[in-house]
Amino acid sequence: MIEALDPQARRYAAAGVVALAWLAFSGLIAARQALRRRAERRAAATLAQGSGAPVLVAFASQTGFAEQLARATAQALTTAGAPVILRPLSTVTAADLAGADQALFVVSTTGEGDAPDSARAFLRDVMGAASDLSALRHGVLALGDRDYARFAAFGRTLNAWLAAQGATPLFDRIEVDDGDPDALALWRSRLADLTGAAQAADWNRPTCGPWTLTGRRLLNPGGAGGEAWHVRLEPADGVLDWVAGDLFEVVPDGAAAARDYSIASVPSDGGVELIVRLRHGPDGKPGLGSGALCRQAAIGDTVSARVRTNRAFHAPDTDAPMILIGAGTGLAGLRAHLKARAAQGRSRNWLLFGERTAAPDDFHRDEIEGWTASGVIARLDLVFSRDQSERLYVQHRLRAAAEAVRAWVADGATILVCGSREGMSQAVDAALVDILGADGLAALTDAGRYRRDVY
């Protein structure tokens, strides 16, 4: 019909068709948005009225923040009168999700866009299969840090998987960049919308307190790999409360974010001890955290800090053997565990520690020799990468000792790894896959017998 018109009329007609198509398309989008808003309102209203079914609050955390936020979430819902089940994601099955009415997920991302170690089984077994979750309504709080290339990757993947299984979002996924208080406030306001209760009080990271620097010693005078300092701090309030595996969070003056350090001591030592590598920025200036601890702060000065629970790196409470693997400042976390094991009289410990050169990088040599003599360390492998012509690292020693690793694991050993992620833990992980098989290492992770504090 358009061909029968003169060129002018044809142009008008074509423009009309385009305008109509555009109107239809916009209408479709508006209708979809309205439908989604209605579904969200209905989902929220059901919770506010109390459908009776408990809300599942599931968390996956590597260094404890997601767990802390999940607990606060559960507390806020409970206070508002909503029944809650709080569970680590590692214990949640597909059947749990299919049977739940509402679920809130608080999950972090670690490594290079990876799920926390404790959530690997969920990722493999539950997210690796299809489920009918059309009866589930969900919310996701995805923790991460935009400094990493794959920001909040696990939360995003989880959210996409839930949608693909037919679950309905209670609200849009909320992403938290390095503890961003605005994102946390948004989550709290979403919880308040859901329950109809007033918004829970602010839950920014817990406050720090003053800790006094009481000791500092250079562990590697003249070392080629950068100064490593043994640093000791005592709390002004005298409260010494942590377990081996926990972290010390320092807020340096002028820094927007806190810095984590693995605690190298146990409370009976009377203070927190750390092993800190002095870092320098591209401008040659010392790093804010390591510079404060290793240089600027004088003995007797205070720094603002707190102890942070790090359940992913706690030891299982068992007499079974322990393989402790680390390099450089990673000795810190292993030292706390060795001290705890010594105090518990648990002696089947194998320490594999790597540094550059025996002199001067043999951090805490006297102590390690003492533990070896007294039997706390049953097997010791010190690997100094530059003390021979070929470069040797802990992962090489591990591979060479494959038979013994398998025997220790068969005997129930837990493997702890502490220290640099790129330089060490990835290579150790690859060696363990070769030694134990991918399934063997996955089974060990699922059983909580492969625990890491890597950075």
Which residues of this chain interact with ligand FAD, rule CB under 6 A? 63, 247, 259-262, 274-277, 279-282, 287-291, 329, 332, 453, 455
DSSP letter string over 391-431?
---HHHHHHHTHHHHHHHHHTT-EEEEEE-IIIIIHHHHHH
CA distance 448 to 455: 19
233 contacts ligand FMN (rule: CB under 6 A): no
Report the residue closest to ligand FMN, judged by CB.
Answer: 144
Task: Using the rule CB under 6 A, give the single segment among 60-68, 228-236, 378-386, 405-413 that binds ligand FMN.
Answer: 60-68
Which two structure tokens, joined as six digits, stand for 36? 């989604």
159 contacts ligand FMN (rule: CB under 6 A): no
Nearest to ligand FAD of 43, 274 (CB atom): 274
Answer for which of 73, 90, 102, 109 binds ligand FMN (CB under 6 A) is: 109
Which two structure tokens, joined as six digits, stand for 54? 């408990």
Angle made by CA atoms 361, 211, 311, in degrees to the nearest 5: 70
Q: How far is the CB of 313 from ligand FAD (least distance, A)?
A: 8
Nearest to ligand FMN of 109, 168 (CB atom): 109
Answer for which of 51, 98, 151, 380 binds ligand FMN (CB under 6 A) is: 151
354 contacts ligand FMN (rule: CB under 6 A): no
Q: How far is the CB of 142 from ligand FMN (least distance, A)?
A: 8
Q: How far is CA 150 from the centre of its chain?
A: 14
423 contacts ligand FMN (rule: CB under 6 A): no
Q: How far is the CB of 160 from ligand FMN (least distance, A)?
A: 15
Q: How many residues does the chain have?
A: 455
Among ligand FMN, ligand FAD, none, the one that 259 touches (CB under a kind-dependent 5 to 8 A) is ligand FAD
Nearest to ligand FMN of 80, 247 (CB atom): 247
Query: Percentage helix, strand, coil, to 5, in the chain?
Result: 40, 25, 35
Q: Which residues contact 324 (CB under 8 A, 6 or more apart)?
A: 334, 337, 338, 349, 350, 351, 352, 416, 418
Q: How far is the CB of 249 from ligand FAD (least distance, A)?
A: 9
102 contacts ligand FMN (rule: CB under 6 A): no
> Is the Cβ–Cβ distance between 455 and 130 less than 8 Å?
no
Burial class (CB in 10 A: 0-12, 13-18, 19+), 237: exposed
58 contacts ligand FMN (rule: CB under 6 A): no
Nearest to ligand FMN of 56, 417 (CB atom): 417
DSSP letter string over 264-321?
-S-GGGSSEEEEEEPPB-TTSPBPHHHHIIIIISPTT-EEEEEEE--GGGPPPSSSS-
Answer for which of 43, 58, 66, 428 binds ligand FMN (CB under 6 A) is: 66
112 contacts ligand FMN (rule: CB under 6 A): yes
Q: Which residues contact 369 (CB under 8 A, 6 or more apart)?
A: none
Residues that bind ligand FMN (CB under 6 A): 61-66, 108-113, 116, 143-145, 148, 150-153, 421, 454-455
